[in-house]
A and B are shown apart, each in its own frame.
Chain A
Amino acid sequence: MKNPLDSIWGTIISGLVLTAILYYVVKSVLM
């Protein structure tokens, strides 16, 4: 599998996915 960080769009999409995951963790686990 290609490293998503090799492309700008892969990097942006990875960042958005990470945001969603961390938002879920903060809202449901850490709050």
Chain B
Amino acid sequence: MELVPVLARWLHFLAGIMWIGLLYYFNFVQVPALKAAAADGTAPGITKHVAPRALLYFRWSAVVTWLAGAALLGSNFGSAFMLAKGYAGIGIGAWLGTIMLFNVWALIWPNQQKILGLKPATDEEKNKARRVALLASRTNMMLSIPMLFFMAGGLTHKAAFGL
């Protein structure tokens, strides 16, 4: 038994569940909860105590997921990302995951820092940041659906692609 792929797959699943779990938490729970909380003045409880912690685990579990996935691909890394013959399924999954990681660090986190007051921003900048962060988060939720379909098959996906 090769130890590295076994540990990499385990870590990829653990971190991936935390990442996508928190993504679904944001979209299914926190966004609607903040709307309701804003109406009765309790939103600061969420934005001060919950959101920063959720974002901390969210963005770092994304990094760990990607690195463990890269380790799991090992020598297949290049073939997967170049969508080589027989690798297109997992390659599409890997590309979708990579785009999602980019969205986390380049769009969601910098804009959330403005929204939560961790970085100085005017009200107008905060409103723009809210829109960009929401759309980036929703984009990731949309991409997670095909990403998990292609990832779930690993390198073979025999049932779906007849390899």
Q: Is the CB of B150 within 8 A of A22?
A: yes
Binds A, one of B40-48, B55-63, B84-92: B84-92
Given A11-B142, A18-B143, A19-B149, are A26 and B135 neighbors across the interface (CB < 8 Å)?
no
Q: Is the CB of A5 within 8 A of B135?
A: yes
- What 4 A-B pairs have minimum CB-CB distances, sorted nearest first? A15-B145, A30-B88, A5-B138, A19-B146
**B contact patch SS:** helix
Total interface residues on B, CB under 8 Å, equals 23
The number of chain A residues touching the other chain, given as a range, is 10 to 19
**A contact patch SS:** helix
* Residue-wise interface mask of B (116-149) relative to A, using a CB-CB cutoff of 8 A (1 in contact, 0 not): 0000000000000000001100110111111001
A16 to B86, CA, bound (A): 23
Given A5-B135, A22-B92, are A15 and B85 neighbors across the interface (CB < 8 Å)?
no
Q: Is the CB of B161 within 8 A of A26?
A: yes
A7 shortest CB reach to chain B, Å: 9
Q: Is the CB of A18 within 8 A of B142?
A: yes
Q: Is the CB of B83 within 8 A of A30?
A: yes
A5 to B161, CA, bound (A): 29
A27 at the interface (CB under 8 A from B): yes
